[in-house]
Amino acid sequence: SLWTPYHGHEAAMADRAMPDLHEYHACLLDCGLRNFPCTEKDVSSNGALVADLKLSWKSAFVNVDQELDANMTVRSNLTYERSCVLWNIAALESYCAAVHEDWKTKDGRAGALRRYGIAAAILKHIRLNLIDDANGDDGCSPDLSPQCLHMCERLMLAQGQMACYEAAKIRSLTANQPMHNLLAKLAVGVADFYNEVLKASQDNEMLGRLPITSRSYGAHAKVMSMLYQSRSQYLESMADKSQRAFGYEIVRLSKVTSMCTEGLDFMGSSSFVETAATTEGDVGNMKQSFDLLKRVANERKIAAEKDNREIYHDDILDLKHLPIIQGQDLMRKPVP
């Protein structure tokens, strides 16, 4: 599953899980052509097959939210099995994007972007095209519910957008012209996707069926959104400086420091501390990112205020008059 500890994913990859899953899925598609029961409707019209076809699935969140027995669902149709197999393929794609791809290289970042896009597309396909036929009227495992699939899909898109941001950040180091505007837009794009993850995690059905998972991933998404919103404002302040908009620069730097403070306060709150242990993420690194960004922004703000007071005399606008940074989404294009 997407949230199995990494050593579980690594063991699966070492055991050739990815090619085996693809081969098994191809077999399931072929079985459908041979009139095996592919939907609950097919099963009910050909009951002779039901006794011999029992396909089970353990919820991806069994170790977080519920007991094992409550998470074993059984169906008698191949569309259900396809949904489970595709979920595992998406999980391994996301794992490989995070761990097997070298984010320090151009090819590695491109590989991570592609894998996250594939994972998101698979989850969307399950949600839109498979899960209704797979479950019929019997309901579904919490991780295969439309709400959970939507949240996971958005999480994959958020991480893919992060790969886009990292690629652009590296490219900006050797660019002839500053790329602060583009980086700011990409950072907002990351924050927007994490906001969608947060919104999906707060769905009433998610909170009811996966309360711990919903809270933990909602808290993680909120922190990541706050971090990238802060980064976007800092990057835009750099663009303001290069365009000699010193008043805008100062206001944005003030906003960055306040946003970082807000992020650190939230990470220190009980609502975050109680749920952080259940997410895959480096809390220490996130705190360091907020601390560093806050310190650098504050130092720049002090210097900018001094220069503006003594040299430029630019007007300092009210915060509400700052132009809004429009996010740039690079993840909704079809995967080639």
Per residue in 15-34, pLDDT (tens digit) is 788 999 999 999 999 988 88
Q: Is the pLDDT of residue 272 over 90?
A: no
Q: Is the pLDDT of residue 316 over 50?
A: yes
Residue 243 to residue 279: CA distance in whole angstroms:
41
Joined tokens for residue 168? 């652009």
* Maximum CA extent, the chain: 88
94 domain-assigned: yes
Q: Which residues contact 283 (CB under 8 A, 6 or more apart)?
A: 267, 276
294 domain-assigned: yes
Query: Both 239 and 265 in a single domain?
Result: yes
- Structural domain count of the chain: 2
Q: Is the pLDDT of residue 117 over 60?
A: yes
Query: Both 37 and 90 in a single domain?
Result: yes
Query: Both 164 and 195 in a single domain?
Result: no
Query: Both 156 and 13 in a single domain?
Result: yes
336 domain-assigned: no
Residue 145 to residue 148: CA distance in whole angstroms:
5
Q: Which residues contact 265 (CB under 8 A, 6 or more apart)?
A: none
% of the chain surpassing 90 pLDDT: 64
Q: What's the CATH code of the domain at 304? A: 1.25.40.280
217 domain-assigned: yes
pLDDT in tens, 189-234: 999 999 999 999 999 999 998 998 999 999 999 999 999 999 999 9
Query: Both 196 and 126 in a single domain?
Result: no
Domain span at residue 100 reads 1-174
Contact 84, 98 (CB under 8 A): no
Query: Both 216 and 138 in a single domain?
Result: no
Domain boundary among the residues 140, 156, 174 is at 174
Cα 222 to Cα 35, 64, 229, 256, 308, distances in angstroms: 47, 20, 11, 16, 34
Query: Both 169 and 199 in a single domain?
Result: no
330 domain-assigned: no
**Comparing 111-120, 128-137, 168-177, 280-289, which segment has the lowest mean pLDDT?**
128-137
Band of pLDDT at residue 73, cut at 50, 70 and 90 = confident
Other Cβ atoms within 10 Å of 74 Cβ, number? 10
Residue 320 to residue 210: CA distance in whole angstroms:
38
pLDDT in the model for residue 48: 46
Residue 144 to residue 111: CA distance in whole angstroms:
26
Domain boundary among the residues 119, 146, 174 is at 174
Cα 220 to Cα 58, 117, 249, 258, distances in angstroms: 24, 21, 29, 19
Chain mean pLDDT for the chain: 87
Query: Both 194 and 296 in a single domain?
Result: yes
More confident position, 14 or 251: 251
Other Cβ atoms within 10 Å of 26 Cβ, number? 10
334 domain-assigned: no
Query: Both 145 and 206 in a single domain?
Result: no
Q: Is the pLDDT of residue 126 over 90?
A: yes
pTM: 0.90
pLDDT in tens, 42-66: 655 555 444 467 788 888 887 666 5
More confident position, 43 or 186: 186
Other Cβ atoms within 10 Å of 177 Cβ, number? 9
Query: Both 22 and 150 in a single domain?
Result: yes
Question: CA geometry: angle at 266 spanning 264 and 270, to 5°?
Answer: 125
Domain boundary among the residues 174, 205, 239 is at 174
17 domain-assigned: yes
pLDDT in the model for residue 335: 43
Q: Is the pLDDT of residue 71 over 70?
A: no
Query: Both 48 and 123 in a single domain?
Result: yes
160 domain-assigned: yes
Query: Both 145 and 188 in a single domain?
Result: no
